[in-house]
A and B are shown apart, each in its own frame.
Chain A
Amino acid sequence: MSTATESVDLVGHESTRNLARAALFAALVGAFAYVSFPVPLSPAPVTLQVLGVFLAGVLLGPVWGPAALGIYLAAGALGAPVFSGGAGGLGHLVGATAGYLWSYPVAAGVVGLAVHRGPALRDLDGVGVPTLVGGLIAGTVVIYAVGVTGLALVLGLAPVEAVVQGALVFLPAEAAKIAAAVGIVRSDALAAT
Chain B
Amino acid sequence: MTVAYVPDDSRFHRLDPRSKLFLQVAFAAAAYAYTTPRGLAVLSVLAVSCVWAAGGTVREAAWGYRWSAPFLLAAPVVAGVTVGPPWIRAADALTTGLASYRVWIVLLVAASFVRSTPVRESRAALQWLVPGRPGRALGIGVALVFRFLPLLRHDLASTRAAIHARCGAERSVHHRMRIVAVAGIARAIGRADRLATALTARCFAWNPTLPPLRFSRTDVPAVLLATGLTVAAIIAVA
Contact = CB atoms under 8 A, between A and B. Distances in A.
B234 interface: no
Contacts of B183: 189
B109 interface: yes
Contact of B192 (A24, A67, A154, A155): A24
30 contacts: A8-B207, A9-B205, A9-B206, A10-B203, A10-B206, A11-B205, A13-B196, A20-B144, A20-B193, A23-B144, A24-B144, A24-B192, A27-B144, A28-B188, A48-B181, A59-B189, A74-B141, A78-B114, A78-B117, A79-B5, A88-B3, A90-B110, A90-B113, A91-B106, A155-B72, A161-B78, A183-B174, A184-B181, A190-B182, A193-B185
B181 A89 contact: no
B149 A95 contact: no
Interface in A123-149: none
Given A23-B148, A157-B96, A88 B184 contact: no
Interface residues of B, number: 84
Contacts of A70: 138
A190 B110 contact: no
Interface stretch (B8-16, B62-70, B224-232): B62-70
B185 A156 contact: no
Nearest to A38: B173
B87 interface: no
A90 B188 contact: no
Interface stretch (A29-37, A102-110, A112-120): A29-37
What are the 10 closest A-B residue pairs judged by CB atoms, nearest first? A85-B67, A89-B110, A91-B110, A71-B141, A79-B114, A23-B144, A75-B145, A91-B107, A24-B192, A180-B177
A154 B182 contact: no
Contacts, number: 263
B204 to A, nearest CB: 5
Interface of A: 6, 8-11, 13, 16-17, 19-28, 30-32, 34-35, 37-40, 44, 48, 51-52, 55, 59, 67-68, 70-72, 74-75, 78-82, 84-92, 94-97, 151, 154-158, 161, 164-165, 176-177, 179-180, 183-184, 187, 189-190, 193
B107 A95 contact: yes
A75 to B, nearest CB: 4
Contact of A75 (B142, B160, B188): B142
Contact of A92 (B4, B70, B110): B110
B28 A80 contact: no
A24 B192 CA distance: 6
A180 B68 CA distance: 26
Interface in B164-202: 173-178, 180-186, 188-193, 195-196, 199-200
Contacts of B106: 91, 94-95
B195 A24 contact: yes
Contacts of A187: 178, 182
Given A9-B207, A71-B142, A25 B188 contact: yes
A51 B181 contact: yes
Interface in B136-165: 137-138, 140-142, 144-146, 148-149, 152-153, 155-156, 160
Given A31-B149, A35-B156, A55-B185, A86 B67 contact: yes
A8 B204 CA distance: 9
